[in-house]
Amino acid sequence: MELFDLSGKVAVITGSSRGIGKAIAERLAEHGAKVVISSRKAGPCDEAAAEINAKYGAGRAMAVPANIASKEDLQRLVDETNAAWGRIDILVCNAASNPYAGPMAGISDEQFEKILQNNVISNHWLIQMVSPQMLERKDGSVIIVSSIGGLRGNALIGAYNISKAADMQLARNLAVEWGPSNVRVNTIAPGLVQTDFAKYLWENPELLKQVTEPAPLKRIGQPDEIAGAAVYLASPASAYMTGQTLVVDGGITIAW
């Protein structure tokens, strides 16, 4: 367990009341971390934290609702975590938005701005709020949940893919800046995962087959199958890895 031991660590995970974020929070807690559940609505956050505390022991999880589009909310998320647990060792930027599907010519300015704000700028805000203490301690792991969309063109979710490519570059830039202080920044690029967020892509059987059939594993992914990558990137097992994008996609990006 030493390579993956997160005992004594504190992790903040955005968008963690359900889906991939919740799975990541559960697995980080399983490996010893204290986790902060955060998403926009308080009720689901409280429920997710209660489930983790029931499974792994009281005090293992706390809920701090926050709207990632609000700089004030994000600062409160950081401040309340520091007040309760004194530190943040792991930050997982998982929350994202995608209010539009279709060709780039059809997207409104408001929709494009929301995608870039929530998927890139908000990540930048939160990372900058958390990083000073990591840099001071010369230890920390920042993980951004990106997407294989950031590696490929797509006629349906082009704006979303632009934001996810930007997240990969954000990680590379920060990895270069903070590497000398032993603060690592990486991204995870999932393929299609069965979450409510991506429901419009998998609830249609024909579209689901079109997306999964070319992949070597020929199936959709599950949230928990992304969580293991986050545990790896958060733990000592990945101590020599920074600025990288870890693709977890059933093999679709390498398939003909």
pLDDT for 142: 98
Mean pLDDT by 10 residues, the chain (256 residues): 94 97 98 98 98 96 98 98 98 96 96 98 98 98 97 93 98 98 98 79 78 90 96 98 97 91
Residues involved in catalysis:
160
Nearest to 160, CA basis, from 176, 145, 175: 145
Token pair, residue 145, equals 């949940």
CA angle 124, 168, 25 (to 5 degrees): 70
Domains and CATH numbers, the chain: 2-193+222-248 (3.40.50.720)
pLDDT for 198: 67
Q: How many other CB atoms are found less than 10 A from the CB of residue 155? A: 9
pLDDT for 207: 79
Place of tokens 């997207």: 107
For 148, phi then psi, to 5°, come to -65, -15
Place of tokens 């990006």: 253
Burial class (CB in 10 A: 0-12, 13-18, 19+), 216: exposed
